[in-house]
Amino acid sequence: MLTRDLLVYRRVKGLRLRPTFVDPDDDDHIATAGALIDLLTHGTGEPRGAVDEAADAICGEARKVKVARGLYKLLTDRCEWDDPGDTAMDLRAVAFARSAAVLRDLSAESSLSDYLDAVAAGLPRPLADVRAHLYDDLAEHRRLLSAKLPTPAALLARYNLALAQGLVLYAGSLDVRAASPGPLELRKLLRWLRFSRLVADVRRDGDGWHLRIEGPAAQLDMQKKYGLQLATFLGAVPVLGKFTVEADIDLPRQPRGRLYLDHKDPLKALDDGPLGHIPQEIELGMASLGDARWTLDPMPELRHVGAAGMCVPDFALRDGTTGKSVAVELFHRWHRHALLRRLDELAARPDPHFLVGVDLSLAKDEALAARLAGAPQVFTFNKFPTWKRLQPLLEPIGSLL
Amino acid sequence: MPVELHFDHGTLVVLGVPEGDARLAALVSLDKRTGTHRAPAHRYRAIVSHLHNAHIPYVDKARIYDRLDLALSGPLEPFPHQRDALAAWRAAGGVGVVELPTGAGKTILAVLAIVHTGRPALIVVPTIDLMLQWQQVLGHWLQRPIGMLGGGNSEAREITVTTYDSAAAQTEFHGNRHGLLVCDECHHLPAPAYRFIAQGCLAPFRLGLTATFERPDGLHNIAAELLGPVCYRANIDELEGDYLAPYEVKSLAVALTEAEQARYDEARALYIDFLRGSGVSLDRPGGWAQFIAVCHRSEDGRQAFAAYREQKRIAFTAEAKIEALWRLLLRHRRDRILVFTEDNDTVHRLSRLFLLPVITHQTPPKERVSLLAQFASGALPVLLTSKVLNEGVDVPDANVGVILSGSGSVREHVQRLGRILRKKEGKRAILYELCTAVAAEHGVSERRRQHRAYQKEPLPRRGAAALRPGPIDQVPSDMSESPGPSEHVPSDMPVSPPRTPRERPDLPSPAEGEC
């Protein structure tokens, strides 16, 4: 992340905040990023103070000094510095024991020179040498051990995201709008929501989605800030493809501003790992449903369950007459713990429009079977739910919709 | 279906709120995002009390602690003020703030409160040194392992000590593990970054401890809201002699060298000119923040701000202070001396010059423990520090304090005085304040002495010869000579020429009470 002094942004018409993104193809920025990466690549074993000083020189020559300093900050976040060991501490212990002994035995007429002469006489090294190395374990003396360094292009991309994240650190909530997101992208985003310990008011907006992201205590009169969590979450938003982000920003000692971002900004998601997969049955719209009333919705809305649980159902069944849905969440044999938690949550806070599918291999567990028998919303399946299993549960729910 | 209480990241989620229950509805609010009722965790006690009193069945899944069987490891006869404070806190229902001077035994009071409460307790302290100290005291009296969170420690136990910084980050995870929350130096709690510690913790029992509860910004009301109001207070002069060491405070004026004075005058003129031209008044509330903002809007402003810092630095690190410090070290070489500075650079510079030990926030934990132990045993007669020993750390043998530089904070000054006040047979404490005769430090010194601890009648109490801080003393006679520059002064410390305090028509001489 970038500290506030390293943020570069514009204020448009007094309110609108726009990070001053860098062009990732700009030769000057690429050269600066390359020089800083090179410095750290060859800086292994060098003390932090020397590395910082060399970086200062590179930053000072850059066309945009603040951008260069920001790039360096992001790089040093990826560095590991050595443990200073006990050498300096041992030297201090010897020096301080000696000075204590000398001080106590001084006469009232002694001068500072007398004192220092007497101390120096009992030191293992010359006084000047002791002074020079007395605090060798302070941060500036620690040596570079290793660094996980990106390419210049990746660093510039990370810098652009960090500029936006640096402003979001001062936000209380995020409004994310996505036009026609893919189900896997949306699922991944919502998973990040849970990782970030945030809650969301999720609404469908035609084909699009609107998510208002906040911390649990945000609606209460509490001082808790969620800036770091929101900034972390922002790192996942670019997976959506097409999106807009808006947030009110309260920078210290500045008038409030509103941040606007969208997919045209040079933002790349932090997590570019695989999105996962959707079972073929869902992709095919569960053609085997064979029922005119119910259609399969592969992108059901986020559901809050129990006191603080959150789930992204695997799919939903939409009633053609009312347009309302019944959510279905599937638990496989490796989901025992999650299933128990969900059953507890449904017991504490019943949700009549929520069905729980349990893989037969999991349902064989004797202790679990007793719990399942007492839960009316549960059905079992083998590999994937069949309409035959779902229909008996849907009929009574359908009459309530 | 019974009401269910859950803890969710510093909030309480209440499921099954009965319709028509106005009292409960006033304590919670509907969270439309999740469709549940939610409340700040600190309302746990009020919510449970209501459910209990109204005979509403409920399942408490929020708190995850049980009662503890706690006993003291040995006989402990509290001082009268400790006994009275505990009684007042109990009478207040196990909530509230106790305001006692440093050295009056707040830690022991907390031990008694923990045993009385019989619940897992979280103790929040400002510094790592204090955390280590609390762990030792609690471990001794409670005879059980004490957890620590912060400063590289991450072991949570039923009785755990943590720092404000760590607690602020951890409350959303462990805010339901303790029945008693103890906030040491609780005047820190109202800081925006720290309030959540008490807001997000459900502990029904709360104890705030401080020597200086009231804050100039009035935010102590927030601490009172979250911990309970002040339930007991004793002042420093009420305990002096009987429960605190008798003490005296001496302010010593020193002069800048000619070169320092010239640099000081130039920097101060630049800063004052800009300040006057900006129209900002530092006397008005928010004036300082306004000045900072104005400074950062132009190059002139940035230069003025740099000049402000430079004149302050010159005043705080004057050559004559180093010489005066040496004289004090020599005079009290067989005492236990704490030297306070405003910043780490100065303290490291002094350490290199005198080869004396330092404790700062950068000092490794095991070295801190060792240095404090050696200081306590007398193996080390002097400790230099910037701010980390300002608060709470128990150094009972320290009897001399030297303030080389500091902020204008009354609280900081009182806390520093408190470091040397812990009672010991035959002990008489003395606090020196070294002050340059220039406006930059004069105002700071004046501000920080606005406390009754410094405004007693100049009469000794309980037989102690006490010099009171009315007129400022000159540097004592054994310090009056201007020693020549030491050949041992490192090259990064400018060698001082023989000094002659400059005649300054706009400032009274130090002897007239300038500082």
Q: Which residues contact A123 (CB under 8 A, 6 or more apart)?
A: A94, A95, A98, A130
pLDDT in tens, A72-86: 999 999 999 988 788
- The confidence score (pLDDT) of residue B449 equals 59
Q: Among B234, B266, B281, where does a domain finish?
A: B234
- The confidence score (pLDDT) of residue B443 equals 63
pLDDT band for position B452 (50/70/90)?
A: low
pLDDT band for position B495 (50/70/90)?
A: very low
Clarify whether residues B429 and B322 are in a common domain: yes
- Amino acid letter at A263? H
Clarify whether residues A327 and A341 are in a common domain: yes
Pairing label, strands A378-381, B3-8: unpaired
H/E element, A258: strand A257-262
pLDDT in tens, A257-278: 999 999 999 999 987 776 666 6
Rounded CA-CA distance A145/A81 in Å is 5
Query: Residue B509: pLDDT above 50?
Result: no
Query: Residue A70: pLDDT above 60?
Result: yes
Q: Which residue has the higher pLDDT, A241 or A75?
A: A75
Asked if A106 lies within 8 A of B379 by C-beta distance, the reply is: no
Q: Which domain holds residue A354?
A: 280-400
- The confidence score (pLDDT) of residue A283 equals 57
- Going from the C-alpha of A334 to that of each of A361, A363, B180, the distances in angstroms are 10, 11, 39
Q: Residues, chain B, total?
A: 515
- ipTM value, please give it: 0.76
Task: Give the highest mean pLDDT range of B94-103, B245-254, B434-443.
Answer: B94-103
Asked if B330 lies within 8 A of A93 by C-beta distance, the reply is: no
Tell whether A370 is within 8 A of chain B (Cβ).
no
pLDDT in tens, B117-150: 999 999 999 988 889 889 999 999 999 999 999 9
Determine the average pLDDT of the residues in B143-172: 93
pLDDT averaged over every residue in chain A: 88
Asked if B357 lies within 8 A of A113 by C-beta distance, the reply is: no
The string of DSSP codes covering A321-382 is TT--EEEEEEE-TT-HHHHHHHHHHHHHS--TTEEEEEEHHHHT-HHHHHHHHT-TTEEEEB
Rounded CA-CA distance B242/B424 in Å is 10
Q: Coil, helix or strand for A212?
A: strand
Query: Residue A69: pLDDT above 80?
Result: yes
Residues of A in contact with B31 (CB under 8 A): 199, 219
Query: Residue B199: pLDDT above 80?
Result: yes
Q: Is residue B347 part of a domain?
A: yes
Q: Which residues of A140-160 are buried (b: 16+ CB within 10 A; e: fewer)?
A: ebbbbeebebbebeebbbbbb
Q: What CATH number did the domain enclosing B355 receive?
A: 3.40.50.300
- Nearest residue, CB atoms, B34 vs list A106, A137, A199: A199
With a CB-CB cutoff of 8 Å, which residues 91-120 of chain A face chain B? 92-93, 95-100, 103-104, 106, 108, 110-113, 115-117, 119
- The confidence score (pLDDT) of residue B381 equals 93
Determine the average pLDDT of the residues in B47-75: 95
Q: Which domain holds residue B493?
A: 247-255+318-512
Q: Which residue has the higher pLDDT, B14 or B301?
A: B14
Rounded CA-CA distance B293/A211 in Å is 36
Clarify whether residues A286 and A266 are in a common domain: no
Determine the average pLDDT of the residues in B177-187: 96
Determine the average pLDDT of the residues in B323-343: 90
Residues of A in contact with B4 (CB under 8 A): 307, 348
Asked if B478 lies within 8 A of A108 by C-beta distance, the reply is: yes
Look up the pTM and report it.
0.74
Running DSSP on this structure, what letter comes out for residue B200? T
Q: Is residue B74 part of a domain?
A: no
Of A196, A172, A164, nearest in space to A260 by CA: A164
Determine the average pLDDT of the residues in B61-81: 93
Clarify whether residues B135 and B229 are in a common domain: yes
Which residues is A333 bridged to in the sheet? none
The string of DSSP codes covering A381-396 is EBSB--HHHHHHHHHH
Which residues is A355 bridged to in the sheet? A328
Asked if B329 lies within 8 A of A103 by C-beta distance, the reply is: yes
Give residue B215's Cα distance to chain centre. 12
Residues of B in contact with A253 (CB under 8 A): 289, 292-293
Q: Is residue A320 part of a domain?
A: yes
- The confidence score (pLDDT) of residue B241 equals 65
pLDDT band for position A37 (50/70/90)?
A: very high
- Mind telling me how many Å the CA of B239 is from chain A's nearest CA? 32
Crossing angle of helices A48-61/A27-41, nearest 10°? 170
pLDDT band for position B508 (50/70/90)?
A: very low
Q: Is residue A322 part of a domain?
A: yes
Determine the average pLDDT of the residues in B13-38: 92
- Amino acid letter at B416? R
Clarify whether residues A308 and A379 are in a common domain: yes
Rounded CA-CA distance B142/B145 in Å is 8
Clarify whether residues B115 and B19 are in a common domain: no
Q: Is residue B61 part of a domain?
A: no
Tally of domains within chain B: 4
Q: Which residue has the higher pLDDT, B42 or A225?
A: B42
Tell whether A137 is within 8 A of chain B (Cβ).
yes
Give the number of C-alpha atoms closer than 13 A to the C-alpha of residue A224, restricted to the C-beta side. Answer: 33
pLDDT band for position B448 (50/70/90)?
A: low
Give the number of A-B residue pairs with CB atoms closer than 8 Å.
Answer: 148
- Amino acid letter at A164? A
Query: Residue B490: pLDDT above 60?
Result: no
Asked if A304 lies within 8 A of B33 by C-beta distance, the reply is: yes
Clarify whether residues A392 and A319 are in a common domain: yes
CB-CB contact of B207 with B89 (8 Å): yes
Token pair in block for residue B491: 């090259």
Clarify whether residues B264 and B226 are in a common domain: no
Which residues is A149 bridged to in the sheet? none
Which residue in chain B has the smallest CA separation from A119? B355
- The confidence score (pLDDT) of residue B455 equals 57
Clarify whether residues B372 and B446 are in a common domain: yes
Structure-derived torsion over alpha carbons of residues A166, A168, A169, A174, reported in degrees to the nearest 10: -160
Rounded CA-CA distance B354/B404 in Å is 15
Rounded CA-CA distance B33/A143 in Å is 49
Query: Residue B512: pLDDT above 60?
Result: no
Q: Which residue has the higher pLDDT, A71 or B289?
A: A71
Asked if B199 lies within 8 A of A224 by C-beta distance, the reply is: yes
The mean-pLDDT minimum among A2-6, A248-252, A339-343, A386-390 falls in A386-390
Interface test with A, best of B3, B34, B295 (most A CBs within 10 A): B34
Give the number of C-alpha atoms closer than 13 A to the C-alpha of residue B411, restricted to the C-beta side. Answer: 16
Interface test with A, best of B30, B488, B492, B493 (most A CBs within 10 A): B488
Residues of B in contact with A100 (CB under 8 A): 379-382
Query: Residue B483: pLDDT above 60?
Result: no
Rounded CA-CA distance B377/B360 in Å is 20
Q: Which residues of B490-504 are buried (b: 16+ CB within 10 A; e: fewer)?
A: eeebeebeebebeeb
Clarify whether residues B270 and B206 are in a common domain: no
Q: Which residue has the higher pLDDT, A155 or B473?
A: A155
Which residue in chain B has the smallest CA separation from A255? B293
Clarify whether residues B287 and B347 are in a common domain: no
Determine the average pLDDT of the residues in B329-335: 92
- The confidence score (pLDDT) of residue A285 equals 53
Rounded CA-CA distance B126/B315 in Å is 28
Of B23, B26, B1, B34, nearest in space to B13 by CA: B34
**Cα angle for residues B55, B57, B58 (degrees, 5° grid):** 125
Task: Give the highest mean pLDDT range of A204-208, A218-222, A375-379, B50-54.
Answer: B50-54
pLDDT in tens, A273-332: 766 666 666 655 555 556 667 888 877 877 888 888 878 888 888 888 888 889 999 888
Which residue in chain B has the smallest CA separation from A127? B488
pLDDT in tens, A350-370: 888 899 999 998 888 888 888
Clarify whether residues A289 and A323 are in a common domain: yes
- The confidence score (pLDDT) of residue B481 equals 35
CB-CB contact of A233 with A198 (8 Å): yes
- Mind telling me how many Å the CA of A128 is from chain B's nearest CA? 8
With a CB-CB cutoff of 8 Å, which residues 291-310 of chain A face chain B? 304, 306-308
